[in-house]
């Protein structure tokens, strides 16, 4: 008899534990394949510690191939599912070639997506905390802020660099704020020009208290604890908009900051929401056996699925499995059992599980825990937190590595190595009215087009008294001189109203424009027409200006 | 009395040890500042091990601030030096603002640059091994090749993915080849669809033997050792050109490969060569005291400097300090002594040092060593190699971390986590005549413009028999439909002669073109004119084609 092919899409908690159990139960009779866009499993509860550099990036994840022996692991991106033909369409390889995979049973475990579009500017300016790259990027960014703050001479810039905002105070927001705070505190001794009281950190929660899934007294303990570490906990207020220089709150306040972390905005996985399945609260509805109604061979679990815990669930989250790693793992085991039962004509079991409790780390060797109904807080809760996650982490190698990281981190100085990632070539940048886009003396690093709003360029030549002004609206552009010469900015550009620019980095813009004769001509003519030639274009800023503006300490 | 300001530019072996000694000698009388573009010191001898994932990326480097207490560390890029005004111009911060730093004495320790432009295609397609990002990128790339090779069904693609080329067999080339070979061998057990004999690895050296700085018999031992590990050592032959699909050798052979590592092409540091200093072999000439002639307050050391070891040096490298870490460290100490002597009216000492010897690791717990004239090879040499570098690594924390990495790596499975970096938005891609740019069925991932050569697009519709052909030359472009629709490629593009394309990734191209009304119009008109409208443009490829082409295993 041909082996039945089970495809699991998504290699997070749900997918991995489902695949593992399936392989064990079905050894010899099932052919299990897991598809994931990375070749590793991310232990999400440790991401805040990666961001705080308590743990090496590579140590908070486990290679899927090592975790899942006897399961075929495919590093590929799922692009679509054809339920009628029972195939999954994936893109794989460096050249992204499409491949169709046939299944007999399909397990969907793609998790959720992040949707920050409801808050203007958030998607372009906030860092998220969903996967390893996010955590790594946050760490790099925070250390970069300290590096620059240590050497800048402008008070305003320094304050912005030393203000950190975390939006959302569920447990990932709380843990991220606490961990980043701790990294900054520990690192400060290496930044002699930053005083501890120059650091600002805000944790912003729209609900009227933090940690909504915890009992109120633990949340209160946590709030006190976070405040004593110098974190400003703001509840009952949300973020209204974000720009490159800060956030605006729903109460009208503006906080200048170079760092916005969003742990809010959990939304449906973009692919999942396109499949035409019956969804609620952004999750795929399943029956109590984790089958997707109407799709005979399809199952769903984890954060992506809405699994009822009772027979007649009400419109109330408590009647459904919660979106936690704990639940996903249990679901994985049981879903495997159900698939096996189905294929062998046995009876399926409805999903039932009671949470063992919740834990949240607060940094500084403190935590809150609500375990088997017992409420704990402080250092003991924190040790419990560590022990629990260590035991939970799959694979001995991973446990050992994380354990070693913890030990090293407690006896060694904090790791402030800044492993930078190349910045994106194009990015949208939001501005509030009055914000400066650039000032004379800055390095010309790219080109801007106006998407909306209006921006004013002013060039003053102190030597000759010449003055030049121009306003740019949607579809217009500035900074094209980068094509002709890489020099310092001679003009000042300010937003006349709230607006949005597209920035294109110098290297990429130059490559594009020069590869393309008609574009190259367009810009040459434009410079001629607007500034009266390339030479003229650079005249207004005197060479002395550069020297005035270069700030020495 | 005001403290004298000493600025050290470059935080490698030379700069760090000079700064450290200066701070010690001059405590209280000197104000020492070190400028480096990263906030960490790179222990270059360990880079091949990072590439092989024996060592975590962050553990092969040491934060400069932790290494250099009492030295002001500035993370900034040196952009220029004004010797007359005794200032260094640096760019710092996220916005790259220029700052001028005044010095009393300047120490130049910027190392060397890499110049691959002499070999067509090399600069665009080869990975280098100079800094941490390089090593990290190589590791990610190699694991990516294994991931794709494991799931691809095309024999040709698979072979290309499993062929690895290292150009240059000095010690960094030899160590890189050996370490990458070891990573691949150890990782293979996790890739069930790759057989060990499918792996090809070439080490290519233009000279007639590898390791030119070692005695001939040790080089011979190393060659045998590398060959026994399955590395094809080719001597007396160089790389003539490189493309995205492989290299062409000087003897006319072509080797298809997705991985080319270049450890050749050491050239002058780009900034250093612009300063108008007296240079030879790409290095700054100094006197025996490491002073730069004609510049009263400027000193140079390390790879960037050409320091004579004798009073009347001949046109012969043996009369000068060699470009190794060992020498740079010694130079650093002595240069500090000389600056201190100068400022205190004492006598300067000429630089003199005799190499303690050379060591090169060959992987598989083997190495060659030539220490104090004693030649060693095999496991004992390898242990010596490890011990030596551990002792050499600055800082207890770093020693401990690297030591732990080595222990973990020997008892744990290899770390095959692929931490991907975002691919660049624009890149130049070289093609040989006959190479395919893309084929029907591939995901449309970007836009191409022709820089030189000519490329032919062919679209065949098997349903209707329709046939479309077009040849593109310099300045022309294809793939613009990505603007209208993200779909699968329906055509085949091949190079009619050797040529060069500029690729722009879909997201960035779309952002750029749509932000810009005149560009958007240009492309819409172009599609209309060339294909008779957007709809027509997609017609030629039948929907069935996609299914035929999607390869299932
Ligand atoms: C910062 C943070 C801290 C947390 N802390 C805790 C905690 O302390 N305790 C707790 O119980 N829970 C915690 N959680 C929640 C917990 O991590 C999730 O509930 C759990 O990961 C859900 O598992 P899942 O398998 O459903 O989804 P995920 O773990 O999100 O896995 C989804 C997988 O699908 C892959 N994928 C997505 N799209 C595609 C595609 N198109 N193609 C291929 N692969 C794809 C993803 O790469 C991922 O591997 C935390 C979450 C976060 C973000
Ligand atoms: C892969 C590899 C393996 C090696 N193995 C060995 C070995 O086993 N034994 C041995 O003795 N030697 C070895 N070497 C050689 C050794 O590493 C060099 O000789 C040594 O690093 C030279 O030191 P340096 O200070 O002159 O330059 P570097 O160490 O290259 O330092 C230059 C510094 O300047 C910084 N910099 C450059 N430009 C700027 C700028 N514009 N602004 C600010 N900062 C800038 C760089 O970031 C860098 O930190 C190896 C080299 C490589 C690449």
Of A62, A95, A421, the CB nearest to B422: A421
Q: Which of A147, A424, A505 sits opposite B422 (nearest CB)?
A: A424
CB contact under 8 A, B417 and A151: no
Considering only residues B385 and B205, tell me which one the structure prediction assigns the higher pLDDT.
B205
Among the ranges given (A359-368, A512-521, B288-297), the one the predictor scored with the smallest mean pLDDT: A512-521
What is the Å distance from ligand 1's center to B102 Cα?
A: 51
The CA distance from B337 to B342, in Å, is 9
Verify that A244 and A284 share a domain, yes or no: no
B538 pLDDT band (50/70/90 cuts)?
very low
Q: Residues B345-359: what's their mean pLDDT?
A: 92
| CA dist., res. B335 & res. B270, Å (int) | 23
Query: Are B396 and B431 in the same domain?
Result: no
Average pLDDT over residues B62-81: 94
- Contact flag A258-B502 (C-beta cutoff 8 Å): no
Q: Is residue A49 part of a domain?
A: no
Cα-Cα-Cα-Cα dihedral sign, residues B328, B329, B332, B333: negative
- The model's pLDDT over B480-504, given as tens digits with 9 standing for 90+, comes to 887 776 678 888 999 999 999 999 9
Region A419-435: what's the mean pLDDT? 91
Select from B321, B343, B365 the last residue of a domain: B343
Tokens, residue B142: 């190699």
Tell how far the Cα of B12 is from the centroid of ligand 2, in angstroms.
5
Tens of pLDDT, residues B185-211: 999 999 999 999 999 999 999 999 999
Q: Do A63 and B190 touch (CB under 8 A)?
A: yes
The CATH number of whichever domain residue A33 belongs to comes to 3.50.50.60
DSSP characters for A475-512?
Answer: T-EE-GGGGT---B--EEEEESSSEEEEEEEHHHHHHH
Give the closest of A422, A546, A553 to B424, CB-based.
A422
CATH code of residue B463: 2.60.120.10
Nearest CA in chain B to A450: B515
Q: Note whether B66 contacts A422, CB cutoff 8 Å.
A: no
Query: If pLDDT is split at 50, 70 and 90, which confidence band does B534 have?
Result: low
Helices A171-187, A132-151: crossing angle, 10 deg rounding: 40
Average pLDDT over residues A372-398: 88
Do residues B107 and B127 share a domain? Answer: no
Residue B230 lies in a domain: yes
Question: What is the number of the ligand 1 atom nearest to the C-alpha of A41?
Answer: 49
> Between A and B, how many CB-CB pairs are < 8 A?
236
Ligand 1 atom nearest residue A112's Cα:
30
At residue B312's C-alpha, the angle toward residues B307 and B313, to 5°, is 50
Cβ–Cβ under 8 Å, residues A431 and A501: yes
Cα–Cα distance between A382 and A360 in angstroms, integer? 8
Report the alpha-carbon distance of residue B495 to residue B473 in Å, rounded. 10
Give the model's pLDDT for residue A171.
87
Q: For residue B348, is it within any domain? A: no
Residue B418 placed within a domain: no
pLDDT of residue A1: 64
* pLDDT given at position A542: 38
Find all residues with CB under 8 Å of A291, minimum gap 6, and list them: A298, A299, A338
Q: Is the pLDDT of residue A261 over 90?
A: yes
pLDDT band at A549 (very low <50, low <70, confident <90, very high): very low
Q: Is A10 in the pocket of ligand 1 (CB under 6 A)?
A: yes
Q: DSSP readout, A191-218?
A: -TT--GGG-EEEEEESSSSS-TTS-HHH
Q: Give the E-state strand segments of B330-473 in sequence order.
A: 357-363, 366-371, 374-378, 426-431, 436-438, 446-452, 455-460, 467-472
Tell me the C-alpha distance between A275 and B73, whole Å.
54
pLDDT for residue A347: 96
At A83, give phi and psi (nearest 5°): -65, -35
Q: Mean of the per-residue pLDDT values for chain A?
A: 90
Lowest-confidence region among A495-499, B250-254, B355-359: B355-359
As a whole number of angstroms, the distance between CA A414 and CA A187 comes to 6
Number of domains in chain A: 3
Q: Are strands B246-249 and B97-102 parallel, antiparallel or unpaired?
A: unpaired
Look at residue A406 and tell me whether its pLDDT is greater than 50.
yes
Which atom in ligand 2 lies closest to the alpha carbon of residue B389? 8
Q: What was the pLDDT predicted at B198?
A: 97
Nearest-angstrom CA–CA distance, B135 and B139: 6
**What is the residue range of B213's domain?**
122-263+357-411
Checking if the pLDDT of A43 tops 50, the result is yes
In this predicted structure, what is the pLDDT of residue A534? 52
pLDDT band at A533 (very low <50, low <70, confident <90, very high): low
Looking at the domain assignment, is residue B543 inside a domain? yes
Pocket test for ligand 1, best of A44, A55, A173, A329 (most atoms within 8 A of CB): A44
Q: Give the mean pLDDT of A343-347.
A: 96
- Using a CB-CB cut-off of 8 Å, the residues of chain B touching A394 are none
Taking only the tens place, the pLDDT of each residue in A137-164 is: 999 999 999 999 999 888 999 999 999 9
Rounded distance, CA A413 to CA A403, Å? 17
Same domain, B402 and B365: yes
Q: What are B143-161's pLDDT values in tens digits? A: 999 999 999 888 999 999 9
pLDDT digits (tens, 9 = 90+) for A25-41: 998 899 999 999 999 99
Mind telling me how many Å the CA of B369 is from chain A's nearest CA? 32
- Residue B154 has which token pair? 């095309």
- Separation of alpha carbons A162 and B319, rounded Å: 51
Ligand 1 mean position, distance from CA A111 (Å): 5
What φ, ψ does residue A475 adopt, rounded to 5°?
85, -15
CATH of the domain at B395: 3.50.50.100
- Estimate the crossing angle of helix B517-531 against helix B506-514, to 10 degrees: 110
Please answer yes or no on whether A58 and B415 come within 8 Å at the CB atom. Answer: yes
**Which residue among A110, A273, A402 has the greatest number of ligand 1 atoms within 8 angstroms of its CB, and so is best to mutate?**
A110
Report the nearest-CA residue for atom 48 of ligand 2.
Answer: B12
Residue bearing the CA closest to ligand 2, atom 7: B45
Q: Percent helix, strand, coil in chain B (nearest 5)?
A: 35, 30, 35
Q: Give the model's confidence band at A67: pLDDT under 50 very low, under 70 low, under 90 confident, else very high.
A: very high
Backbone angles phi, psi at A509, to 5 degrees: -65, -45
Spatial contact of A464 and B528, defined as CB atoms under 8 Å apart: no
B390 shares its domain with B253: yes
Burial of B183 (0-12, 13-18, 19+ CB in 10 A): buried
Indicate whether A332 and A259 sit together in one domain.
no
pLDDT for A540:
35
Alpha-carbon dihedral B283, B285, B291, B294, rounded to 10 degrees: -120
Compute chain A's Rg from CA coordinates. Answer: 27
Q: How far apart are CA A329 and CA A301, in angstroms?
A: 9
At A553, list the tokens.
């300490």
**Cα-Cα-Cα-Cα dihedral sign, residues B20, B26, B27, B33:** negative
B387 and B242 housed in the same domain: yes
Chain segment A185-195, per-residue pLDDT in tens = 999 999 999 99
Q: What is the pLDDT of residues B272-301, one digit of tens each?
A: 999 999 999 999 999 999 999 999 999 999
Q: Where are the beta strands (DSSP E) in A227-380?
A: 232-235, 239-243, 246-249, 254-256, 259-262, 266-267, 279-280, 283-285, 298-300, 305-306, 357-363, 366-371, 374-378
Mean pLDDT of the A332-345 span: 97
Q: What is the pLDDT of residue A333?
A: 97
Predicted ipTM? Answer: 0.91
pLDDT at residue A546, rounded to an integer: 40
Which of B12, B37, B38, B106 is the best mutation target for the ligand 2 pocket, counting ligand atoms within 8 Å of the beta carbon and taking the most? Answer: B12
**What would the mean pLDDT of A417-429 be, rounded to a whole number?**
90
- Could you tell me which of B417, B480, B485, B489 has the C-alpha nearest to residue B449? B480
Partnered with residue A98 across adjacent β-strands are A91
> Sorting pLDDT into bands at 50, 70 and 90, what band is B461?
confident
Distance (Å, rounded) from C-alpha B363 to C-alpha A450? 55
CA–CA separation, A372 and B527 (whole Å): 65
Residues having CB within 6 Å of any atom of ligand 2: B 10-15, 35-38, 44-45, 47-48, 77-78, 109-111, 129-130, 171-172, 271, 302-304, 323-326, 328
pLDDT (tens digit per residue) in A208-232: 999 998 899 999 999 999 999 999 9
Q: Is A38 in the pocket of ligand 1 (CB under 6 A)?
A: yes
Domain check: are B242 and B308 in the same one? no
Q: Are residues B374 and B441 in the same domain?
A: no
Inspect the interface and report whether the beta carbons of A522 and B517 lie closer than 8 Å.
Answer: no
pLDDT of amino acid B41: 96
Dihedral in degrees, nearest 10, Cα atoms A476, A481, A483, A485: -170
A147 and A293: one domain? no
Using the predicted structure, report yes or no on whether residue A196 has a pLDDT greater than 60: yes
Arithmetic mean of pLDDT, B217-228: 95
Nearest CA in chain A to B508: A426
Q: Is A358 in the pocket of ligand 1 (CB under 6 A)?
A: no
Binary contact (A97, B515; C-beta < 8 A): no
Closest atom of ligand 1 to A328 CA is 23
The number of the ligand 2 atom at minimal distance from the alpha carbon of B324 is 19
Residue A283 in any domain: the answer is: yes
Mean pLDDT of chain B, nearest integer: 90
Residue A443 belongs to a domain: yes
B136/A419 touch (CB, cutoff 8 Å), yes or no: yes
**What angle do helix axes B325-343 and B13-25 make, rounded to 10 degrees?**
30
DSSP string covering A343-359: HTT-----------EEE
Same domain, A99 and A58: yes
Cα of B403 to ligand 2 centre, how many Å?
A: 22
Rg (CA), chain B: 27
B25-39, B216-230, B313-327, B403-417, range with the lowest pLDDT: B403-417
- Break chain A down into helix, strand, coil percent, rounded to 5: 35, 30, 35
The answer to whether position A351 is within a domain reads no
What value does the mean pLDDT take over residues B322-340? 96
Question: How sure is the predictor about A413, in pLDDT bands with cuts at 50, 70 and 90?
Answer: confident
Q: Report phi then psi at A2, rounded to 5.
A: -65, 140
Band the pLDDT of A486: cuts 50, 70, 90: low
Asked if B245 and B362 sit in the same domain, the reply is yes
| CA A13 to centroid of ligand 1, rounded, Å | 6
Neighboring chain A residues of B448 at a CB cutoff of 8 Å: none
Q: Which residues, listed in sequence order, are joined to residue B446 by a DSSP beta bridge? A: B505
Which residues of chain A neighbour B449 with C-beta distances below 8 Å? 512, 515-516
């Amino acid at each position: 008899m041909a082996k039945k092919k089970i495809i699991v899409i998504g290699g997070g908690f749900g997918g991995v534990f489902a695949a593992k159990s399936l392989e064990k139960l079905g050894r010899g009779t099932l052919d299990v394949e897991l598809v994931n866009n990375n070749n590793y499993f991310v232990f999400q509860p440790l991401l805040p510690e990666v961001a705080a550099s308590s743990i090496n990036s590579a140590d908070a994840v486990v290679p899927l191939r090592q975790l899942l022996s006897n399961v075929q692991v495919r590093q590929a991106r799922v692009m679509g599912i054809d339920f009628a033909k029972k195939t999954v369409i994936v893109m794989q390889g460096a050249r992204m070639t499409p491949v169709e995979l046939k299944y007999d049973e399909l397990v969907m475990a793609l998790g959720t997506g992040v949707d920050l579009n409801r808050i203007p500017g958030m998607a372009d300016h906030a860092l998220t905390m969903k996967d390893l790259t996010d955590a790594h990027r946050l760490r790099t960014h925070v250390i970069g802020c300290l590096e620059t703050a240590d050497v800048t001479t402008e008070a305003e810039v320094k304050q912005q660099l030393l203000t950190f905002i975390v939006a959302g105070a569920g447990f990932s927001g709380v843990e991220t704020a606490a961990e980043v705070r701790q990294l900054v505190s520990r690192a400060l001794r290496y930044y002699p020009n930053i005083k501890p009281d120059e650091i600002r950190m805000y944790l912003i929660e729209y609900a009227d208290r933090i940690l909504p899934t915890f009992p109120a007294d633990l949340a209160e303990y946590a709030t006190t604890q976070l405040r004593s570490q110098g974190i400003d906990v703001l509840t009952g207020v949300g973020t209204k908009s974000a720009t490159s220089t800060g956030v605006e709150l729903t109460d009208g306040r503006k906080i200048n900051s170079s760092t916005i972390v969003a742990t809010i905005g959990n939304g449906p996985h973009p692919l999942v929401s396109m499949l035409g399945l019956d969804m609620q609260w952004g999750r795929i509805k399943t029956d109590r056996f984790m089958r997707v109604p109407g799709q005979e061979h399809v199952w769903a679990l984890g954060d992506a699925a809405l699994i009822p815990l009772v027979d007649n669930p009400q419109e109330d989250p408590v009647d459904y499995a919660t979106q936690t790693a704990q639940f996903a793992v249990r679901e994985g085991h049981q879903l495997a059992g159900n698939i096996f039962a189905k294929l062998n004509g046995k009876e399926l079991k409805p999903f039932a599980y009671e949470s063992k409790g919740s834990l949240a780390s607060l940094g500084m060797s403190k935590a809150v825990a609500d375990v088997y109904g017992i409420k704990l807080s402080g250092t003991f809760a924190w040790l419990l937190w560590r022990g629990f996650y260590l035991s939970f982490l799959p694979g001995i190698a991973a446990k050992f590595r994380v354990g070693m990281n913890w030990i090293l981190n407690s006896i060694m100085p904090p790791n402030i190595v800044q492993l930078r990632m190349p910045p994106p070539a194009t990015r949208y940048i939001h501005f509030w009215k009055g914000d400066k886009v650039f000032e004379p003396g800055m390095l010309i690093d790219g080109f801007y087009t106006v998407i909306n709003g209006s921006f004013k360029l002013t060039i003053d030549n102190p030597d000759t008294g010449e003055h030049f002004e121009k306003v740019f609206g949607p579809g217009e552009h500035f900074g094209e001189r980068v094509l002709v010469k890489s020099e310092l900015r001679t003009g000042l550009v300010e937003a006349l109203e709230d607006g949005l620019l597209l920035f294109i980095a110098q290297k990429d813009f130059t490559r594009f424009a020069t590869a393309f004769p008609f574009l190259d001509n367009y810009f040459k003519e434009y410079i001629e027409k607007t500034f009266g030639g390339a030479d003229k274009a650079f005249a207004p800023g005197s060479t002395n200006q550069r020297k005035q503006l270069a700030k020495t300490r």
